Amino acid sequence: MKTNAKQLARGLFAEIQARGASDLDDVTGAFVKYLADRHELSLWREVIRALDAVWKEEFGVANVSVVSAFELPKELKKALEEKFAGVSVTSTVANDVLGGASVRIDDRVIDGTIRARLQLLKQQLIS
């Protein structure tokens, strides 16, 4: 029977949860082999997207990314990781945001960068 990406993602998630983080590489390795045996490697993108959805169901949030003009202080990074336990938290530095930071939590963005504020000001002045 053909399994869809969501079912595969659920299976992978359940297995990782049961075996714990220490066996992560083994589980993912076995999963990739399983896909390869079934000639379904082309599904990997869909599985990753579905995994996000499954992750979101379980933890409420799947991905958090922070873009800031300067490197985040260590305490802040730690606080973020504690706040979003079990979620992948990435932070990147981009000079073109000028200042402040923007936080993306799955499909929501809170943009507090200077660049966004300047754009808002520009829009207001034009209109």
With CB under 8 A as the contact rule, which of the stretches 10-18, 31-39, 75-83, 102-110 interacts with another protein?
A: 102-110
Under the binding rule (CB under 8 A), the answer on residue 14 touching another protein is: no
124 contacts another protein (rule: CB under 8 A): yes
Task: Give the contacts of 55 (CB within 8 A, at least 6 positions apart).
Answer: 13, 61, 62, 87
Verify binding: residue 23, another protein, rule CB under 8 A: no
* Distance in Å, CB of 41 to another protein, minimum: 18
Tell whether residue 47 is a contact of another protein (CB under 8 A). no
Largest CA distance in the chain: 60
Q: Is 98 in the site for another protein (CB under 8 A)?
A: no
CB neighbours of 72 closer than 8 A, spacing ≥ 6? 66, 80, 91, 101
